[in-house]
Structure 1
Amino acid sequence: MKINITFDMTPDEFRRLMGWPDVAEFQRELFEQMLTKMQSGEDGYDPLSLYQPMMKEGMNSMSQFQSMMFNMMSGSKPGKTEE
């Protein structure tokens, strides 16, 4: 037996239903502060240094995905070394 339930509500209505806080104003203020610091050239707030950790993780994830796909296609198991 399969039962489907559909709720027709906006994301804001869903957030309130779940009791989650509205963080839109906080995010807006935080972004404005970061933008101000980036525009003034404050140390540690240049765009490259802010996005560098995300880019590094993104590239690492791609490498892990490629390794997983290669292992699946070659029939080897993760962590198994070829002798």
Structure 2
Amino acid sequence: MKVNIEIDCTPIEAREFMGLPDVQPMQTAMMEKLQQKMAENIEKFSPEAILQNWFDPKMAERFQDMFVNMSGLGAGGTKGKK
């Protein structure tokens, strides 16, 4: 014997029938908080702020030191060779 039962209801009606809580108010509140935090921090990710961080004078010195050390021109790189 095979029995098929078809129930036509909305997700809200199914949730209420099964006794599950309505999480819509909590979801709305969390999305508002998330949007507020994103709006507060959006200026940190502007192109000007990113370029300012990348082209910091200290960063240029670090890149220069890194290239000098990689090329073997750093301290002790060619010492003792003739």
TM-score w.r.t. the length of structure 1 is 0.47
Give the structure-2-normalised TM-score: 0.48
Higher alpha-carbon Rg: 2
1 or 2 for the larger relative contact order (CA 8 Å, sep ≥6)?
1
